[in-house]
Amino acid sequence: MQCPACRHTDSRVLESRSSESGRSVRRRRECLSCGHRFTTYERVEFVPISVIKRNGDRESFDRSKLLRGIVRACEKTGVSAQQMDLLVDEIEGTLQQRSSRDVQSSEIGEMVLQQIGRLSEVAYIRFASVYRQFRGVRDFVETLDRLQDLSRDEVGDVPAAVTSLTSA
């Protein structure tokens, strides 16, 4: 690993820790030439995933794009950055475990809806309104009515209610 201070390539590892999600390793290093201490992160290099958009175009899976959409939906809901990051980790991990390297954008959207509903009903509605392309108030009202009916049936178990909404 190259030292950011002197560009020397020899360093020793002082400390290693696994991240909370277990998907990366944080290493504290010391340069053997100048003594500068620095931190590195190691992540597994994933096989590229190709996302097939609604119009048929293909693009590489972009973790940061997914996170931006989730952050937008979760604004001012009390959902922490850590929870959102873990949600993206879970979705990315699920995609990496698939045998196919191609995934429809609609599949990713449904995965987000199932997971985001467990974090916040408001975030669910916000994400659904963009993902499902709500055209007017009626779309919001229908989704809210189903959400309310299902949450009453489940005696307040909103995550189960929200999860069942994703098939609607």
pLDDT tens readout for residues 46-75: 778 999 999 999 999 999 999 999 999 999
User: Is 6 a member of any domain?
Assistant: no
Residues 90, 151: one domain? yes
Give 163's pLDDT tier (boundaries 50, 70, 90).
very low
> What is the crossing angle of helices 158-165 and 121-131, to 10°?
10
User: Is 5 a member of any domain?
Assistant: no
Residues 56, 32: one domain? no
User: Is 1 a member of any domain?
Assistant: no
Number of H helices, E strands in the chain: 6, 6
Residues 18, 94: one domain? no
The per-residue pLDDT for 47 is 78
How many Å apart are CA 13 and CA 138, to the nearest integer? 59
Work out the average pLDDT over 32-58: 91
Helix (H) or strand (E) holding 162: helix 158-165
Give 157's pLDDT tier (boundaries 50, 70, 90).
very low
Q: Which domain holds residue 108?
A: 50-165
Residues 22, 74: one domain? no
Residues 94, 32: one domain? no
Total tally of structural domains belonging to the chain:
2
